[in-house]
Structure formats: C-alpha cells, structure tokens
Amino acid sequence: MTSDVRERLLQATYDCVGRWGLAKTTVEDAAREAGVSRATVYRYFPGGRDELISAVVGWEFSRFFLRLYQEVSDAESLEEVMERGLMFAHRALLEHEVLQRILVTEPEILLPRLTTEADQTRTLVAAFLAPYLVRHGMTEGPDLDGTADFLARMVLSYIASPGRWDLTDPGQVALLVRSELLAGIR
C-alpha cells in the first residue's frame, strides 16, 4: 500500500510538471492530482517540494534505465550494446514530452542539472555500461572504471550534441561506435 501511494505521488507530480512546468508545480498540485492530502505528501516527502521533485527526477531516471536495459539486454556484442543504447537514448530524449517542454519553457532550471550537475548522470551511465564491458572481456578494476567513465562522458556528449552524426541512422551509429567510441578503449 505504501509503495502504491508513493508511486501515485511520483506519477501525479510528473504529470503536473508536464502540464505546468517545474517552477509552477506545487505540493498542492501533486496532492490533488494523486488524490491525497498535503499531509500525505509530506509524510512521504518530508523535505517538501524540493524532495518531491528530486524523487520524480530519480524515478524518471530509473524508468529510463529500465527501458534502456530492455533495449540492449539481448545484444551479443559490446558494439551492439553501444549502438542500440545510443539510438535508444537519443530517441528517448527527443520523444520525451516533459523534458522537451521544460527545455523550451524553463531551460534555466533544467540546463544546470544537465551540464554542471551532470556528474550523477555520468555516474549512472558508467555504472550501466560497466557490466557490459566485463561481459565483453574487460577485467574489473581501475581500467574498467576509467573506461566506463570515458564511454559515459562520450555517450552523453554525443546524445546532447551529435555533431555530424545522425543518431537515427544505424549505419552512422555503428561507424561512430567503432571509429570513435570503442576505438579509444581497445
């Protein structure tokens, strides 16, 4: 029961942010949308609005990484993991209505989280990549950590700004992965 209420609050807050934006979403909005009282919101998120918004961001990250895992889980090579992952992430960001809305209407709120505060995202991506690196021949240790970090930085860079690469074209993505991403670690 507890997780159901928490999940409803996260979904309700996400829906409110999608409708009104980050700055205009209040605890009252989230409570009303979830069909609970303000006191219930504070019971689950004692830090109030900031904690609730932070939890929604974490929740959405978790949902993204679950879908990413499903996308690459049966890949047979590291190249295939990287290719599918890049294409999926690029598409997911472009098609993410809430993220795209906030980028247009409230970039001053979101851009710092995507740039100067991006260490958390990079760490999550590196942690996601590490098991695939091990599964495809890299041994654990400092080299693994450094390689996962390097690939995470590069992947995030290309997703944010693909430059000359068309991340919707499987052929171009395969070339990018082999000539620029994995060439640097082999």
pLDDT in tens, 111-160: 666 666 677 888 888 999 999 999 888 777 778 999 999 999 999 889 88
Domain extent at residue 35: 1-57
pTM over 0.85: no
Q: In the chain, pLDDT over 90 holds for what percent of residues?
A: 54
Kindly indicate the confidence band of residue 110, based on its pLDDT and cuts at 50, 70 and 90.
low
Residues 96 and 26 in one domain: no
Integer distance in angstroms from the first to the last C-alpha of the chain?
A: 49
pLDDT at 58 over 80: yes
With respect to residue 68, please indicate whether it lies within any of the assigned structural domains.
Answer: no
Number of domains the chain is built from: 2
d(CA 60, CA 103): 16
With respect to residue 78, please indicate whether it lies within any of the assigned structural domains.
Answer: yes
Q: In the chain, pLDDT over 70 holds for what percent of residues?
A: 93
Residues 81 and 160 in one domain: yes
Please give the mean pLDDT across all residues of the chain.
Answer: 88
